[in-house]
């Protein structure tokens, strides 16, 4: 959720600032604790925005931003651990005066919510951040939906106040799935959204509770705005006031014309159907097309199976996209169409793709819209390959 280069800079700063952090851990009565919500950026790494905690104490000359979204590029096997869901993220911090200019240069908005806390609660949160920052505590195993830079902020508030955080459920939409929440950010990036819809499994289609919706910074901000602190004595709004520190310049956004996956998939289906009438079925072009088509499907299926079975990512399990992209397509693409192995695999994949098409509306997973016309293409080409084999079997 944060710029890779900023993470690297932030990690270097970790070596410089610790002394000042531990020497100024007693706040004055005028100190404030606030949540910073940064809008999404134009790049994939910043597509979902970012959240951080600001501790400001003018009397003690403290103005720090704590960030749970940092990771260490020097981690052994960094990219492999990232792909396998085994990468540890960590808590870092920076001076506020260095934090804000970075978002200004990227044309990203920043909203500050000052928490409505007693002095004791502010100190408790600051103490918890200092404790979390210790080398033995600062690392944690990142989980996109359940344990990230935004969810950690909600938890540290909840665990360090004198009372209970009550979310006013009647003011929050409570019927959205995790995948629906992602659509809020990716509706203008259809190719990225399609990729995520292919790779995320059934866990992404679970209805998210208001607390679980805090995995995204904008919705953490919404939940905080609609929460109160309840104790035996009284209740109070969690947020004291909200300030817009930076406003995104919408005039800098690009044009809205995009070629979408659904358009490409339907056009490809039309071309395949037209080609079946115009090009001889035995033409070498169909041989090349089918091997590419089945090969791509098989590779997608291998990736789905890998993310499902071989990684720690919970959200990529039980992925029904495997029905139209079963890894056996790779074998079909590599070997002779008429081999006994391919004959059997063609029938197996025919059944799986048919189940996918019939169950497209009923399987409790939100599939990419383009997967329907694309799976029809796959089915049609499987039938085109099975038919000659079937006719040979019928020949006396």
Question: Would you state the structure tokens that stand for residue 379, as one six-digit string?
Answer: 């089915």
Instruction: Tell me if 206 sits within 8 A of 257, measured CB to CB.
Output: no
Instruction: Give the pLDDT of residue 52.
Output: 96
Mean pLDDT over 137-150 rounds to: 92
Q: Which pLDDT band, with edges at 50, 70 and 90, does 387 fall under?
A: confident
Say which residue the tokens 């929050």 belong to. 172
Task: For residue range 34-92, list pLDDT tens digits in order.
Answer: 999 999 887 776 789 999 999 999 999 999 999 998 877 777 777 777 778 888 899 99
Task: For residue range 3-14, list pLDDT tens digits in order.
Answer: 544 554 455 444
**What pTM did the predictor assign?**
0.84
First to last CA, the chain: 64
Task: For residue range 155-171, list pLDDT tens digits in order.
Answer: 999 999 999 999 987 77
Mean pLDDT over 144-157 rounds to: 94
Q: Which pLDDT band, with edges at 50, 70 and 90, does 394 fall under?
A: very low
Q: How many CB atoms lie within 10 A of CB 341?
A: 12
The span from the CA of 119 to the CA of 27, in Å, is 8
pLDDT for 206 beyond 50:
yes
Measured CA distances, 60 to 29, 30, 97, 113 (Å): 10, 10, 16, 21
């Amino acid at each position: 959720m944060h710029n890779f280069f900023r993470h690297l800079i932030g990690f270097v700063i970790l070596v410089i600032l610790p002394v000042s952090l531990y020497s100024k851990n007693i706040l004055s009565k005028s100190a404030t604790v606030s949540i910073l919500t940064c809008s999404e950026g134009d790049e994939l790494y910043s597509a979902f925005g970012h959240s951080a905690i600001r501790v400001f104490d003018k009397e003690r000359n403290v103005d720090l931003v704590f960030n749970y979204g940092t990771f260490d590029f020097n981690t052994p096997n960094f990219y492999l651990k990232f792909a396998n869901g085994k990468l540890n993220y960590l808590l870092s911090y920076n001076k506020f005066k260095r934090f804000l200019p970075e978002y200004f240069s990227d044309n990203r908005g920043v909203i500050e919510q000052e928490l409505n806390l007693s002095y004791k609660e502010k100190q408790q949160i600051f103490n918890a951040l200092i404790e979390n920052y210790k080398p033995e505590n600062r690392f944690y195993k990142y989980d996109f939906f359940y344990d990230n830079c935004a969810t950690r902020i909600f938890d540290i508030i909840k665990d360090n106040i004198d009372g209970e955080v009550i979310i006013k459920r009647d003011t929050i939409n409570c019927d959205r799935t995790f995948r629906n929440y992602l659509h809020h950010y990716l509706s203008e990036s259809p190719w990225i959204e399609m990729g995520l819809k292919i790779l995320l499994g059934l866990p992404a289609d679970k209805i998210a509770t208001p607390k679980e919706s805090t995995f995204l910074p904008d919705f953490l901000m919404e939940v905080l705005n609609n929460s109160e602190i309840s104790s035996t004595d009284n209740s109070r709004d969690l947020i004291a006031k909200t300030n817009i520190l930076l406003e995104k310049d919408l005039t800098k956004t690009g044009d809205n014309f995009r070629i979408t996956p659904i358009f490409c998939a339907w056009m490809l289906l039309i071309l395949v159907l037209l080609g079946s009438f115009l090009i001889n079925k035995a033409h070498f072009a169909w041989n090349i097309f089918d091997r590419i088509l089945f090969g791509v499907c098989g590779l997608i299926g291998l990736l789905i199976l890998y993310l499902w079975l071989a990684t720690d990512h919970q959200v990529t399990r039980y992925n029904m996209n495997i029905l139209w992209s079963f890894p056996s397509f790779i074998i079909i693409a590599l070997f002779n169409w008429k081999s006994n192995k391919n004959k059997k695999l063609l029938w197996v994949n025919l059944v799986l793709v048919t189940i996918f098409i019939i169950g497209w509306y009923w399987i409790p997973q939100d599939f990419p819209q383009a997967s329907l016309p694309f799976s029809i293409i796959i089915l049609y080409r499987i039938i085109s390959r099975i038919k000659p084999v079937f006719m040979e079997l019928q020949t006396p």
